[in-house]
């Protein structure tokens, strides 16, 4: 984990130890390599995107939220998500503007680079700070401003939940969730170790016809595929989410293809039809053997749904085990 040492932060910022049962404010956590100090418990938070909202719901933060953003402009909202949202309004269907966030009287924003914010854009932690809005940046997205040396791991999820637990004084709940998630991932790891099958080569197809949009070395699916016992054929891409070429994917000859299902009119089924007509991809092992796994957006971006997705992937990777 990338928490600052207690002594170093204590010299600069009032700080509550991460392993305390309750939070004493002000408290400082790390956000993309920088210290983020929370003066008091947020009670007017805005969470961006489905995956980050599901983190909030897992911690029971609904009463502390004044809005969400980035959902209906991209995806079809499920009944379960609608129920969780209740009366919490969606402030913007895609990226919120600075004016929108200020008007909401928010005091906290959880988003990421290319998850509600753009580097050099209108909405950034720096632009929100003068209006009393503190911003926690999704760790997976830090690669856009803080070049990491290690590939993605499940700590991307665990650390963000732990930080939210500290910020919102929900540390016990956060630790219980992390303990449960780690146990389930460990069970998957043990299962793959008993298999005699080699790790399958896996390709994630998000979108794109001329060039496929997929997950590279620093994206959450890279960690998930590894945890489930597979090998991501695009794990050499020094980025998180980006485009590659069909030639490189076809030459890697994936055994299984993950189809990202946005649950829209052009969902996973249309991706499957495209692959089966593509002059290169139609000859790969995955397509000829019809080995596909459909996963939703929130299952492939950092959030609680990652754990279910890892179990689903493991079942697909090792069906006889």
**Could you read off the pLDDT of 107-122 as tens digits, one per residue?**
999 999 999 999 999 9
Same fold, 6-177 and 195-317: yes
Parse the chain into domains and list their residue ranges.
6-177, 195-317
Pairing of strands 90-92, 231-232: unpaired
**Structure token pair of residue 71:** 């959902």
The stretch 136-145 carries a mean pLDDT of: 96
Q: What number of other Cβ atoms are within 10 A of residue 245's Cβ? A: 12
The proportion of the chain whose per-residue pLDDT surpasses 90, expressed as a percent, equals 82
Say which CATH class 6-177 falls into. Answer: alpha beta
Contacts for 134 with CB less than 8 Å, ≥ 6 apart: 36, 37, 38, 42, 107, 108, 109, 125, 128
Q: Residue for token digits 């980035």?
A: 70
User: Which pTM was predicted?
Assistant: 0.91
Task: Please state the separation of Cα 304 from the chain's center in Å.
Answer: 9
Q: Domain 195-317, what fold?
A: Rossmann fold (3.40.50)
Mean pLDDT value of segment 85-96: 96
Give the per-residue pLDDT at 162: 98
Nearest Cα neighbor of 318 from 194, 138, 206, 207 is 194
**Rounded average pLDDT over 45-68:** 97
Taking only the tens place, the pLDDT of each residue in 262-278 is: 865 568 999 999 999 99
How large is the average pLDDT for residues 193-198?
83
pLDDT the model gives residue 94 = 96
Is the pLDDT at 2 greater than 60? The verdict is no
The Cα-based distances of 191 to 3, 227, 306, 321 in angstroms read: 32, 11, 18, 7
pLDDT for 12 beyond 60: no
């Amino acid at each position: 984990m990338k928490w600052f040492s207690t002594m170093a932060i204590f010299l600069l910022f009032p700080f509550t130890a991460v392993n305390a049962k309750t939070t004493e404010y002000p408290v400082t956590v790390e956000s993309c390599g920088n210290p983020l100090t929370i003066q008091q418990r947020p009670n007017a938070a805005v969470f961006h995107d489905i995956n980050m909202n599901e983190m909030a719901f897992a911690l029971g933060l609904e009463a502390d939220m004044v809005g969400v953003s980035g959902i209906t402009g991209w995806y079809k909202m499920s009944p379960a998500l609608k129920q969780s949202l209740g009366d919490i309004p969606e402030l913007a269907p895609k990226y919120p503007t600075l004016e929108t966030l200020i008007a909401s009287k928010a005091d906290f924003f959880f988003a990421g680079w290319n998850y509600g914010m753009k580097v050099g854009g209108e909405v950034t932690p720096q632009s929100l700070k003068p209006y009393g809005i503190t911003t926690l940046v999704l760790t997976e997205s830090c690669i856009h401003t803080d070049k990491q040396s290690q590939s993605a791991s499940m700590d991307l999820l665990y650390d963000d939940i732990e930080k939210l637990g500290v910020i919102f004084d929900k540390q016990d709940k956060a630790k219980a969730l992390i303990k449960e998630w780690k146990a389930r991932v460990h069970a998957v790891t043990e299962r793959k170790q008993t298999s005699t099958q080699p790790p399958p080569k896996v390709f994630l197809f998000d979108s794109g016809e001329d060039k496929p949009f997929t997950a590279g070395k620093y994206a959450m699916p890279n960690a998930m595929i590894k945890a489930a016992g597979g090998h991501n054929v695009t794990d050499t891409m020094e980025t998180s989410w980006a485009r590659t070429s069909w030639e490189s994917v076809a030459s890697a000859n994936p055994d299984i293809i993950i189809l990202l299902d946005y649950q829209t009119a052009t969902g996973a089924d249309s991706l499957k039809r495209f692959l089966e007509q593509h002059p290169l991809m139609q000859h790969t092992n995955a397509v000829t053997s019809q080995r596909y796994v459909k996963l939703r957006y929130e299952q492939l971006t950092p959030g609680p749904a990652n754990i279910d997705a890892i179990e689903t992937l493991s079942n697909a990777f090792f069906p006889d085990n």
